[in-house]
Structures are given as C-alpha cells and as structure tokens.
Structure 1
C-alpha cells in the first residue's frame, strides 16, 4: 500500500439549493491539510486530496479518512490541526466531528 491513510475532502460545487462543500471552503481545507502534512513530513505516508461529491451535502464541508472509513462533517479550517494530530497521527478519530450514518438493512 502506497499510503497509510488517504483523506478525501469534498470540493464539489453545484447549482442547487442544498449546501455545497466547494463553495463553503472545500478547496481551502484541501490546501490546509496538504500544508499541515508537508510541515510534519507526513506527505509520503498520508495523502490529502480533493474529491467530487461524497453525498453528505447536508453535513458539509465533508470528508472521509481511509482505510478506517471515518467520515467528518462541518469541518472548519480551525479543525484541520486537530484532525491531523488526533486522527491521522495518533489514530484517534475526532468524535465531535465524526458523522454517524444509520445502518443499512
């Protein structure tokens, strides 16, 4: 496996009444995650990148961390360092931002 963790941050922009992650600051989040990972020398082990719609518009800006499959919602620029340190470095998801989706039958 090339990366230990992979972070996908929604940057989708759409013409719709629903909230759009890209217009809320999705791209700024991508840049903030990349800068933090680079500053800590983690960019070879952890990849942060933009993604298209993650289908969690109501919770945007949204993102997901793999391989764990932990989803985050309403992520703000001020949350980036906490997610990097707690989850990406120390494997402790940030519960206050984690999205809980109902189980599918």
Structure 2
C-alpha cells in the first residue's frame, strides 16, 4: 500500500481557475427512523438546503454553489454542512442559523463561530 502525503498540493500556475469561489455541501442523507446515529434529513436539512439556495440567490452571491450531499459522516451533529475550499464545518438548526452562516462566511469572508463543528466537539462525542 502506498502512503499518501498529508498535504494537498497548492494550485499551480497551469491549473484552471476555480469554477466556484465557494462550494457548500449540505448533508441530506436519510437513515431509517430510530437509527442510532440519526440522519441530517430527519433533522430538517432538506428544508435548510432549499432555504440556503434561495437566500444565496437573493443575496446575489456570485460563484457560490449550494449542493445537496449524501452522508458527510458527522451525523451526530446534524444537520451538517461543509464549505470548501476552506473545509469549514457547520451545524445549522434553523433558517436564522443559515442566514448567519451566509452573512459571516460567504458575504463577509469570516466565520459563524458559534455554529462551527470543531475538533473539540468531535472529541467530546467520541
């Protein structure tokens, strides 16, 4: 088996420019009711995704794509989403949370800190 490097190569001068400046993946995975890990869809992620798509368009966010994703494997924090290229994870529960993420992260270029999933959260769940 080949060991893979931990580092992701930086963009080179010959790479094409990114198609999107930000790509948001919202987990919409649905597990059977009563599953021990739960599921993001059962916790309302589909409505939050639809709302986020509509609000991003209303805000005129250019080069931002909001997509549905299958399981992102952070079910215990659901609903979950991740924004690339930064790889920042969020756990929005309400439309207000989605507005906060859109404004802080995608409009202002900062972070919606209170909604972020951090390594400390993950260790606490383990």
Give the TM-score, by structure 2 length.
0.75
In the TM superposition, what is the alpha-carbon distance from 1:74 to its structure 2 partner? 4.5
Query: What is the SS of the residue equivalent to 1:23?
Result: helix
Unaligned stretches of 5+ residues in structure 2: 1-17, 121-126
In the TM superposition, what is the alpha-carbon distance from 1:101 to its structure 2 partner? 2.1
Moved segments of 4+, more than 3 Å: none
Q: Which residue, out of 50, 56, 59, partners 1:31?
A: 50
Unaligned stretches of 5+ residues in structure 1: none
1:5-84 correspondence to structure 2 within 5 Å: 5-15=22-32, 16-42=35-61, 44-84=62-102
Query: What is the SS of the residue equivalent to 1:27?
Result: helix
Work out the CA distance in 2 between the residues paired with 1:101 and 1:57. Answer: 15
- CA RMSD in angstroms, aligned pairs only: 1.5
In the TM superposition, what is the alpha-carbon distance from 1:75 to its structure 2 partner? 3.2
In the TM superposition, what is the alpha-carbon distance from 1:29 to its structure 2 partner? 1.0
Identify which range, 18-27 or 56-65, moves more after superposition.
Answer: 18-27
CA contact (8 A) 2:25 2:69 kept: yes
Work out the CA distance in 2 between the residues paired with 1:74 and 1:97. Answer: 6
In the TM superposition, what is the alpha-carbon distance from 1:80 to its structure 2 partner? 1.1
Work out the CA distance in 2 between the residues paired with 1:62 and 1:76. Answer: 12
